[in-house]
Amino acid sequence: MRLTTISDAAAKDASSAASPLELLLGCHARIRHFMQLSLTLANAVDVPLDEISEAAAAIFRYFSLALPLHEADENRSLFPRLQAALPNGGLVHEAAETMVEQHKAINELAAELLSLCTTLDRYPARLPVLAHRLGDVAQALNLIFSAHLLLEESVIFPAFQDLLSPEQITEMSQEMQQRRQPQLSRTIHVVH
Ligand SMILES: [Fe+2]
Ligand SMILES: [Fe+2]
């Protein structure tokens, strides 16, 4: 059995016809997928070197290219509209601020994960030496993502569906699509 059946298809964004909620939930499914792959990689034994490289490269691609887009969707398209819809504060208002704060903590841990995956992509034979560190980082990131995704799925996403007008949701959708247009050419530049 291969370490992963990962392909770039797993990292692709949903179709342009999808609603903002569907796009956001699709991103969450991919975050969970790549977190699980990170934990699997940390615990892998007797795995061919090419599979280690392949998994590390896939994790790197997802967390360096797709995750920042997802966070921008939430920080720049969702958060300001939700806060404006809640001028008197309240629990959802605070939850949205927590969401943005958690992104910063996530990014710090993700940077460590990216550094380890860069090394493992180039030097997969180092996995036995780096596995413990990779496991620690992946577990810490998985823990914060578990709480973070639950907060968004149980509080933030239902709130924006309830509070924003159809026009605002259409604007969000357009911004999310536009955000991915220039990124496509940059992705090609970065990868090659
Ligand atoms: Fe988030
Ligand atoms: Fe999210």
Ranges of each domain in the chain = 19-191
Give the model's confidence band at 181: pLDDT under 50 very low, under 70 low, under 90 confident, else very high: confident
The alpha carbon of residue 57 and the mean position of all alpha carbons in its chain are separated, in whole angstroms, by 15
Give the model's confidence band at 192: pLDDT under 50 very low, under 70 low, under 90 confident, else very high: very low
Ligand with smallest separation from the Cα of 28 = 2
3-state helix, strand and coil shares in percent for the chain, rounded to the nearest 5: 85, 0, 15
- What's residue 89's pLDDT? 87
**Residue 68 backbone phi and psi in degrees, to 5:** -60, -35
Whole-number Å distance, alpha carbon 5 to ligand 1 midpoint, is 26
Q: What is the mean pLDDT of residues 143-153?
A: 98
Whole-number Å distance, alpha carbon 72 to ligand 1 midpoint, is 9
Question: Whole-prediction pTM value?
Answer: 0.88
CATH 1.20.120.520, domain 19-191, yes or no: yes
- What's residue 8's pLDDT? 45
